[in-house]
């Protein structure tokens, strides 16, 4: 039995979540589509189990998630239309996790879906790049699907900034806002995003919303 199951664990955000969970002494099930492609995932770390799974398959989700206290979804596919993938994933995870009895679910979203002013999202700006708008629409549809289908599942969509930096250092600090963008997009390291996610698992403070997260403000230590 593991504490946390991470879907999309082979990506940068997924890896950061696995690493942060390990530092906290959590047992982790790391789900990827092909474990053979990730021989280094969790290598040498106690309590990490790498397994094959599909976040768009509710039966696969239910089978793998049984016995876990929380789940994180950091998966993404560029070979499938964005809205099709993210809506399908939301349905499969909401249903599969509920069947498995998982109590807490965190989906990793994107800041472009957050509001810059009441009723106006960052992705709605006329100069927002069209390829990113299409990708962001998938996350927006995912959020609406979660609101419709989550049932009794305790869920939260955590939306990191557009400037999500894999090379930035771990500061252990971050800021949050409910449904609105921070600092015109803000910035955060993968490591600090993982901290925010694990904090919301260990001590849930937000539920059923989009939660913006960003790193420390400029000049903060």
- Residue ranges of domains in the chain: 4-214
40, 51 in Cβ contact below 8 A?
A: no
Nearest to 9 by CA among 42, 58, 43: 42
pTM of the model: 0.94
Nearest to 150 by CA among 85, 81, 69, 207: 207
User: Residue 161, SS3?
Assistant: coil
Question: Cβ contacts of residue 23 below 8 Å, gap of 6+?
Answer: none
Sequential pLDDT tens for the chain (221 residues):
469 999 999 999 999 999 999 999 999 999 999 999 999 897 777 789 999 999 999 999 999 999 999 999 999 988 899 999 999 999 999 999 999 999 899 999 999 999 999 999 999 999 999 988 999 999 999 999 999 876 778 999 999 998 888 888 899 999 999 999 998 768 899 999 999 999 999 999 999 999 999 998 876 65
Distance of CA 29 to the CA centre of its chain: 15
Over the range 82-114, which residues count as b (16 or more CB within 10 Å of their CB) and which as e? bbebbbbbbbbbbbbbbebebbbbbbbbbbbbb
CATH superfamily of 4-214: NAD(P)-binding Rossmann-like Domain (3.40.50.720)
CA atoms within 13 A on the CB side of 127: 0
Over residues 156-178, the pLDDT tens digits come to 999 999 888 888 889 999 999 99
């Amino acid at each position: 039995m593991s504490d946390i199951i991470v879907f999309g664990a082979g990506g940068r955000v997924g890896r950061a979540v696995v690493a942060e969970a390990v530092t906290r002494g959590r047992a982790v099930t790391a789900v990827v589509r092909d474990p053979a492609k990730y021989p280094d995932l969790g290598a040498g770390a106690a309590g990490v189990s790498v397994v094959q799974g599909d976040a768009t398959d509710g039966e696969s989700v239910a089978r793998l998630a049984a016995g876990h206290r929380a789940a994180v979804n950091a998966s993404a596919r560029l070979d499938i239309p964005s809205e099709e993938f993210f809506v399908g994933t939301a349905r499969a995870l909401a249903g599969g996790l509920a069947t498995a009895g998982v109590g807490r679910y965190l989906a990793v979203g994107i800041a472009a879906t957050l509001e810059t002013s009441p009723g106006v999202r960052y992705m709605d700006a006329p100069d927002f790049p069209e390829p990113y708008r299409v990708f962001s629409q998938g996350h927006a549809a995912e959020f609406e699907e979660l609101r419709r289908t989550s049932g009794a599942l305790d869920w939260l969509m955590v939306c990191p900034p557009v400037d999500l930096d894999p090379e930035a250092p771990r500061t252990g600090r971050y800021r949050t806002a409910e449904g609105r963008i921070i600092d015109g997009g803000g910035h955060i390291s993968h490591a600090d995003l993982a901290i925010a996610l694990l904090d919301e698992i260990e001590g849930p403070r937000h539920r059923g919303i989009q939660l913006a997260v960003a790193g420390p403000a400029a000049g903060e230590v």
